[in-house]
Structure 1
Amino acid sequence: MTDIPAPLPPRPARRRRLPRLATLRAIAALILREMATTYGRSPGGYAWAVLEPVAGIALLTVVFSMSFHAPALGASFAMFYATGMLPFILFTDITGKLAQALNYSKQLLAYPRVTFVDAILARFVLNLMTQLMVGYIVLGGIMLVFETRVQPDGLTIARAYGLAALLALGVGTLNSYLTVRLPIWQRIWSIAMRPLFLLSCVFFLFDGIPQPFRDWLWYNPLIHLVGLMRRGFYASYDAPYVSEVYLLTVGLGTLVTGLLLLRRDHKMLLEL
C-alpha cells in the first residue's frame, strides 16, 4: 500500500499594501519627479530653488536698507524687511505652485493609485521645505551680519510658519480647483496678488495705518502672518491686532472647501 503524500501547506496570503504606505510612496515619487523635471535640467539642480529667492531677498534687503535707515522696529531694516517678506513669499510661492498641481500631474491622475490629494501634498511638501530653508538662511545670515538686537521666540516663530503653511495649503487647494474649472481664474488671481505686496504691511506696521483703512485691511490674513512673525522676533512688539483664530478659520475653511469641490468634480476636471 503506497503512502499518500501529505498535502502541501497553504501558501501564506500576500499582505496587501497599506493605503497609507501607498499614499506615502506616491507622494515621494511625485516629489522626486518634480525635482527631476523642474530642477534637474539646470546646473546646480535643486540648489537654485533655494539660492534664487535667497539672493533676491538679500538684494532687495540691501537696496531698501540703504534707503530706509530707521526701521519701524528694532535697529536693522534688513531684519524688519525680512520678517515681513518671508511669510509673504511663502504664501505666494506655495499657492502659485499648488494652483498648477492638477495641470502638472493630470496624466498621472488617470492611474487609480495616484489621487489629487497626492499631487497637492507632493507640491506642498516640496515647496514648504524649500521656503523653510530660505527663511533659515536669510534670517540666520542677517543675524550674523547685522546688529539686529532681536530676541527670537522659537514657539511664536513656529506658530507663524505653521499658520502660514496652513493658509497657503488651504488657498492653494482651492486655487487648484478654480484654475482648472475656470481658466480665467489664473489671470484674476495674478492681478489680485500684485497690490497685495503693498497691502500686507511688509514695509510698514499695521498700527500706523489710519482709519478706516485699518479696519478694512484687518481682513487680509497676510497682515496677521506678518504681525505674528514680527512678534516672534521683537520682544517689545505685542501686535494686538493679530488673530490666530482668524488665520485658522481662513486656512481650514479654504482647505475643506477646496477638497470637497475636488472630491466632487475631480473626474470631470481630468477631462477638461
Structure 2
Amino acid sequence: MMFDLRTPRVISALVLREMSTTYGRSAAGYLWAVAEPVAGIAILTAAFSFMLRDPPIGNSFALFYATGLLPFLMYMGVSGKVSQAIQFSRPLLSYPRLTFLDAVFARFLLNAITQLVVAFSVLGALLLAQDTRPVIDFGAIFLSFAMALSFAFGIGALNCLLFAFLPSWQMIWAVMNRPSFLISGIFFTYDSMPAVVQKFLWFNPLIHVIGQMRKGVYPTYSGVYVTPWYVFLCAAIPAVAGIFFLRRYHKKILNEM
C-alpha cells in the first residue's frame, strides 16, 4: 500500500467513527475510561493497605499501584482494541479506499491518545494529592508509555492477523494473557523477587515497562534491570510479522470472514 494524501483523511474518518461507536456522543463514555483505572487503584490500595504496613516503594499505596496499573491497562486496552480492528471495521473493508492498515492505525491512534490522557490525568491527580512534592522524571515516564504502546501495537497487529485466520485463537489468547496481571510487577517490584524468579520474570516485557514507570516517579528506584531495547524488539517482531501478512493475505482474509 502506497501512502497518499487520502490516507490521513481515511484514518481521521475511522477515528471519528471509533469515537462515536466506542465512547458515544456524551462524556459518560470517556468517564468510564477514567473510572476503570481509578477503581482498580482504589481496590488494590484498600486491599493491600490492610495487609502491608508500607508499600514496596515510597509511602503511598495508591501511587505505587498506579505506577503499575496505568501502564498495564494501557497495554491491555490498546492491544485489545488493535487486535479487533478487522472485526470492528469489517463492514467497511469492501470499499477500495479503505485498507486493513488504515483500520489498524486508526484504532491504535484513538485508543493510544485516550489511554495517555487517562494515565496522565490519574497520575497527575495522585501526585498533586501527595503531602510532599515528588521529583518526577517526565522523560522516564514518557519512555515507559512509549514502551507500553509499542508493545501493545505489536501484539495487537499480530493478533489482528491471527484472530482473522484462527477464530479460536481469540479465546486461547484471552486465557494465556490472564496471568500477566499477576507476573508483570503491579503488586511487587522485580528487585524483591528471589533470583531464580527474576530470571523468568525478566523475559516479560511488561516487567520492564512498569519498572521504567517507577524509575520516573521514584527518584531512589534504580531499576537497573529495565531494558527498553528488549521491549521495543518484542514489539517490532510481531508488528512487522502482523503487518506483512495482513498486507499479503488481506484479500483472502476478506473473502473468508
TM-score by length of 2: 0.93
Matches within 5 A, 1:58-207: 58-64=41-47, 66-67=49-50, 68-147=52-131, 150-207=134-191
Residue 253 of structure 2 aligns with an amino acid whose one-letter code is: L
Provide structure 1 residue ranges, at least 5 long, that are not aligned to the other structure: 1-17
Secondary structure of the structure 1 residue equivalent to 2:4: helix
Retained in 2: the 8 A contact 1:79–1:148? Answer: no
- State the one-letter code of the partner of 2:35: E
2:252 corresponds in structure 1 to: 268
1:141 offset after TM fit, Å? Answer: 1.2
Once the two structures are superposed, residues 173-214 of structure 1 have per-residue CA deviations (whole angstroms, 9 ceiling, x without a partner) of 001001111111111111112111010010111011113221
| 2:30 aligned with 1:47 | yes
CA–CA distance in structure 1, aligned partners of residues 23 and 223 of structure 2 = 39
State the Cα distance separating 1:217 from its structure 2 match.
1.3
User: Offset at 1:19?
Assistant: 4.5
* Residues 219/19 of structure 1: CA separation in 2 closer, same or farther (3 Å cut): closer
Distance of 2:64 and 2:132 partners within structure 1: 9
| Cα distance, 1:262–1:19 mapped onto 2, change above 3 Å | closer
Partner residue in 1 for 2:216: 232
Aligned to 2:21: 37
Structure having the higher helix fraction is: 2
Q: Residues 148 and 266 (structure 1 numbering): CA distance in 2 closer, same or farther, change over 3 Å?
A: farther
The whole-number CA distance in structure 2 between the counterparts of 1:228 and 1:51 is 22
Is 1:61–1:82's contact at 8 Å kept on the other side of the alignment?
no
- Alpha carbon RMSD of aligned pairs, Å? 1.8
Tell me, what secondary structure is at the counterpart of 2:173?
helix
Q: Which residue of 2 aligns with 1:244?
A: 228
* 1:137 CA displacement: 1.5
Distance 1:73 1:148, change over 3 A: farther
Structure-2 separation of matches of 1:64 and 1:251: 33
**Structure 1 counterpart of 2:196, which letter?**
P
Tell me which residue corresponds to 1:217: 201
Identity rate, percent: 41
Aligned residue-pair number = 254
Partners of 2:34 and 2:230 in 1: how far apart?
Answer: 33
Gapped regions of structure 2 (runs ≥ 5): none
